[in-house]
Amino acid sequence: MNEPATPTEATSATSCAQLATEHFFRHESARLVATLAGQFGAQRLQWVEDVVQEALVRALQTWPYRGVPDNPAAWLTQTARHLALDQLRREQRWDERQEGISAEQARWMAVPVEETAWDEAHLRDDTLRLMFVCCHPQLSAEAQIALALRTLCGLSPAEIAAAFVTTEAAISKRLVRARARIRELELPFELPEAHELPQRLEAVLASLYLLFNEGYKASSGEHLVRADLCHEAIRLAGLLVTHPATGLPQCHALLALMLLSASRLPARTDEAGDILRLHEQDRSLWDQALIHRGIQHLQLSARGEALSEYHLEAGIAACHCTASTHAATDWARILTLYDQLVLLTSSPVVALNRAIAVGRVQGAQSGLDALAAVKGLDTYLSLHAARGAFAAELGQHQTAATHYCRALALAALPSERRFFESRIADCEAAAGTN
C-alpha cells in the first residue's frame, strides 16, 4: 500500500505541476490556436482563443492534483477539441452541422499530436499557415503583424506594444479591429496559392523578427532572455527558407540574423540572470555551430540584387560574431551598415543603434550628439541607457546618473533594475571622489 504523500511532497508535486502547466501555456497555446483555427475557420479566431484558454485553465486546475499526464500536449489538444465540440453542440445550428462535424472529429482524432513536416509544395506547419492567414492583404500591415504576434506567438498586448513602441491600448484596439475584419471578410483558413505567398511574406518576416526580439530581450516577466521564443522564430524561419515560394534572399537574411544573434544567448546573462554587456561576455560560450549556420545563410542571402533591412542587420551581427575580442570589433564597418540601414527605414530604434555606433567610432561626445537627434523615443529605456553610458565615458558622472535614473524608471525586468541601480551607484561613487 502506498504511503500518503507528506505535506512537503504534496506541495512540491503541486509546484512542479504548476510549472509544467505554465510551460505548456507558453509553448502549446499558439500551436493549439493554429490547429483549431485550421479546423473551425479563421473567422472563429476569437472563439478558438477562448477555447484554448479554457483548456489551459482546466490543466491548471487538474494537473496539480492528478499529476502531469504522460503526454501533456496530447492532453491539451484532446481537451481543447472536446471543449470546442461541446460548445458547437450548444449552437442553434448544431443539428444541420452534426453529421459533418462528427466526420471531422473522427479525422482530427487520427491526426498525430506532433507537428507535421512540410513537403515542397505546401506549408504544413499549422502555426506558419495561420501566420500567412493573419497576414492577409486586406488587413493593415500593423494589424497583420499584431494579430500574428498575439494569436500565434502568444505575446501579450503589452509585449506587442513594446515591439511597436506604442501603447497597450492602441494594440488592443488594433487586435479587436483585425478580428472583426476577419469575421467580416470570412477569411478561410487556407494557404494562398504559391504565387500569392510573396505579397504576404513581408508581414510574416516582420512578425518572426519581432518574436525573436522579444525572446532576445524580453519586455516583461522575470527573465531577460526567453530562449524558447528565439528558437521558435528560428524554427519557423527555417521552414520558410526550405519552401520554393518563400526561400528568398530576405528569408535567408532574417534566418542568418537570428542564428548569429542566438549564438550569443549563452553569454548574455550571468548566473543570477543579470545582463552582461557585449564587452563583458565570455566569447568562448558563443555557439560556434550557430555562427557557422548564420554565415552560411548570410551567403545564401546574397543571391539576387535585393538588399533588405535583414541583410544589413545580419551583416552587423556577423561583425560582432566574427570579432575575436570586443576590441577587435569592426565598428567602422558596423557604422557603414547602419548608414545604409537608416536609408531603408525611418525607425527611430535604428537611428538609436546607429548613434551608438557613431560613439564607438568617433567618440562618446559624437555619440551623445547623434543621440540628441533621435526623436520619438523619450519613453524608450535604451535611449537613456546609451546616454548614461556615453556621459560616464566622458567623466560626466552626475549627468550619467541622471540618465540611468530615467532608464531605471522605465525598467520592467528585475535584472534591468538591478543593472541600472548598480550603474547609478557607480556614477554616484565616482562623482563623490571628484
pLDDT in tens, 196-248: 777 889 999 999 999 899 888 887 767 778 888 899 899 999 999 988 888 89
Q: How far apart are CA 24 and CA 253, in angstroms?
A: 31
Q: Name the average pLDDT for the chain.
A: 81
Residue of higher predicted confidence among 119 and 284:
284
Per-residue pLDDT at 122: 46
Q: Which of 66-70, 289-293, 319-323 has the lowest mean pLDDT?
A: 66-70
Q: How far apart are CA 2 and CA 251, in angstroms?
A: 56
The answer to whether 21 and 75 have CB atoms below 8 angstroms apart is no
Per-residue pLDDT at 141: 85
**pLDDT tier for residue 417 given thresholds of 50, 70 and 90:** very high
Region 89-105 average pLDDT: 52
Q: Which of 88-97, 101-110, 205-214 has the lowest mean pLDDT?
A: 101-110
Helix boundaries (H) for 218-374:
227-242, 249-262, 288-300, 309-321, 331-344, 348-362, 364-372
Using only C-alpha atoms, the chain has a radius of gyration, in whole angstroms, of 24
Region 127-142 average pLDDT: 81
Per-residue pLDDT at 208: 93
Cα–Cα–Cα angle for 232, 285, 262, rounded to 5 degrees: 20
**pLDDT tier for residue 368 given thresholds of 50, 70 and 90:** very high
Q: How far apart are CA 331 and CA 324, in angstroms?
A: 13
Q: Which of 90-94, 96-100, 191-195, 410-414 has the lowest mean pLDDT?
A: 96-100
* Per-residue cell: 320: 560582432
**pLDDT tier for residue 10 given thresholds of 50, 70 and 90:** very low
The answer to whether 148 and 200 have CB atoms below 8 angstroms apart is no
Task: Please name the amino acid found at residue 190.
Answer: E
Q: Which of 2-11, 235-244, 268-277, 296-305 has the lowest mean pLDDT?
A: 2-11
Residues in CB range of 32: below 8 A, 6 or more apart: 52, 55, 76, 77, 80
The DSSP letter of residue 283 is: G
Cα–Cα–Cα angle for 73, 77, 83, rounded to 5 degrees: 145
The answer to whether 326 and 335 have CB atoms below 8 angstroms apart is no
